[in-house]
Structure formats: structure tokens, C-alpha cells
Amino acid sequence: MIEKQETIIIKTDELLVKTAEMKDKGCRLVQIGCTKTGENVYELNYTFDENYNFYNYRIIVESSNPVPSIQNLYAGAFIYENEIAELFDIVVNDMLVDFNGKLYKTSLENPFK
């Protein structure tokens, strides 16, 4: 095995607390990814790394339920949050940098929804 990877499922309202813990630990944000798992149900993976140690937190959301933005902790998260908002139609609240649907030019709206 290349590296041990554990995914911890958390609630949406725990996301900011866990992200702040990762920030305090000195972790960098690796990625935020979205997977459709059912009709209007999505998994969001928030992956962090600290000195090659892998951390992955997962929240499960319905498309109508908003997710808080982590941009105030990780400014670079704007690229991921706007991507998942535009491709999957996930509502991300309080984004500091919000492209309002204009980051990704696609011929279909929310093509991965």
C-alpha cells in the first residue's frame, strides 16, 4: 500500500470546525471533490495534507442544502467551491470569491448534476 488513507464522515455543521483544526495543525488544502451518490445526494470530500500525512473529511449533502465556504480559512478553496457550485449545482454559502456561475464555460448548465 502506498499510503494509509482514512475518510472520516462528518456533519455539514462540523465542517468549519474540522477545517479550522486542519489549519491550526498546519495542513494544506489538497482538494475539495464532489461525487454524486444518488438523486440530488452528493458526497463532498475535503482533503488535507501535512508533511505527507493524508486527511480526508466527507460530508453528505442534498443539493438543496447549502454548504459553508471554507475560503476564510483557505483562500485557495475558491477554485474548488466555485467548480462544484457550477458543475454540480451545490449551494456554497458565504464564498469570499464567488464567480456567480462564470468560472467554467460549459455548454450545459450544471453538467454533472
Distance CA 18, CA 24 (A): 10
**Is 111 among the residues that bind other proteins (CB under 8 A)?**
yes
**Contact string (CB under 8 A) for other proteins, positions 26-55, x = contact:** --xxxx-xxxxx-------x-x----x-x-
- Tell me the CA distances in angstroms from 49 to 17, 61, 83, 96, one per residue in order: 17, 23, 21, 23
Work out which of 46, 57, 74, 88 binds other proteins, going by CB under 8 A: 74
Spatial contact of 103 and 84, defined as CB atoms under 8 Å apart: no
Q: What are the cell numbers at 109? A: 448548465
**Contact string (CB under 8 A) for other proteins, positions 75-94, x = contact:** xxxxx---------------
Whose cell is 444518488? That residue is 38
Using the minimum distance from each CB to other proteins, give the nearer residue, 13 or 35. Answer: 35
Using the minimum distance from each CB to other proteins, give the nearer residue, 13 or 108. Answer: 108
Using the minimum distance from each CB to other proteins, give the nearer residue, 10 or 13. Answer: 10
Whose cell is 449551494? That residue is 91
Spatial contact of 19 and 58, defined as CB atoms under 8 Å apart: no
Q: Which residues bind other proteins (CB under 8 A)?
A: 1-3, 5, 7, 28-31, 33-37, 45, 47, 52, 54, 56, 74-79, 99, 102-106, 111-112
